[in-house]
Amino acid sequence: MTQQKILFVCLGNICRSPMAEGIFRDYVEKNRAERSFIIDSAGTSGYHQGELPDARMRVHASRRGYHLAHRSRRFQQEDFERFDKIIAMDDTNVERLHGMAFGDEQKAKISKMTDYCRVFKATEIPDPYYGGDSGFEHVIDLLEDACKGLLDELI
Ligand code: 4NP
């Protein structure tokens, strides 16, 4: 298998996309497929540049055995060249990425995380930032489902 470069994208890069990165990395490691993937995440905003994931997201992640050590960074146009698949968490971020893409080849790299869900019928990974604990748990439920679907598709 050739190496596949996957980038997860949300707005702040402190909740959903670093969580997606952490879950996908865990599944890839459990499948002993580390050498087959480069995995990263980014935000379409730079509001939280350099920060660790949101403390609430890290607490909910660690309860399920995931350790999140990513530092927030803003998505750059060059990421369209660096990555094979650019996976956004919601429609707004899909639209933002489409607005930054040059040409059909770059646009074709964009997809939405919920497209890979097999169990949940959701169409977006909802932003948990202004909500409570249940929102963070729901994000992890959706992302675990989507990451399983994504890995099945890629391996
Ligand atoms: P994320 O969540 O896009 O899943 O990282 C958010 C984080 C921060 C903000 C919004 C959403 N914010 O407005 O600062």
**pLDDT tens digits, 49-102:** 999 999 999 999 999 999 999 999 999 999 999 999 999 999 999 999 999 999
How open is the CA angle 125-129-133, to the nearest 5 degrees? Answer: 85
Q: Which helix (H) or strand (E) holds 66?
A: none
Among protein residues, the one with the nearest Cα to ligand 1's atom 8 is 12
% pLDDT > 70, the chain: 99
What's the CATH code of the domain at 98? 3.40.50.2300
Report the amino acid identity of residue 134: S
Residue 11, ligand 1, Cβ within 6 A: yes
Q: Is the CB of residue 70 below 6 angstroms from any atom belonging to ligand 1?
A: no
3-state SS, residue 155: coil
| Count of structural domains, the chain | 1
Ligand 1 contacts CB of residue 93 (under 6 A): no
**Residue 136 neighbours by CB under 8 Å, 6+ apart:** 15, 56, 57, 60, 128
User: How much is the average pLDDT of 28-44?
Assistant: 97
Mean pLDDT, rounded, for 7-30: 98
- Any ligand 1 atom below 6 A from CB of 125: no
- From the list 148, 146, 151, 129, the residue with the least C-alpha distance to 16 is 129
- Closest ligand 1 atom to 72 CA: 5
| Mean pLDDT across the chain | 97
Give the closest residue to 117 by CA, choosing from 93, 91, 148.
Answer: 148
Q: What does the pLDDT read at residue 18?
A: 98
Q: Amino acid identity, residue 98?
A: H
Give the strand pairing for 85-88 and 37-43: unpaired
What's the confidence (pLDDT) of residue 2?
Answer: 85
In the reported structure, the alpha carbon of residue 42 is separated from the centroid of ligand 1 by a whole-number distance in angstroms of: 11
Catalytic residue among 10, 15, 117, 147: 10
User: Which is the catalytic residue, given 40, 54, 127, 145?
Assistant: 127
Confidence of residue 1 (pLDDT cuts 50, 70, 90): low
Which structural domain range is residue 84 located in?
4-154
As a whole number of angstroms, the distance between CA 100 and CA 43 comes to 13
Ligand 1 pocket, residue 114 CB under 6 Å: no
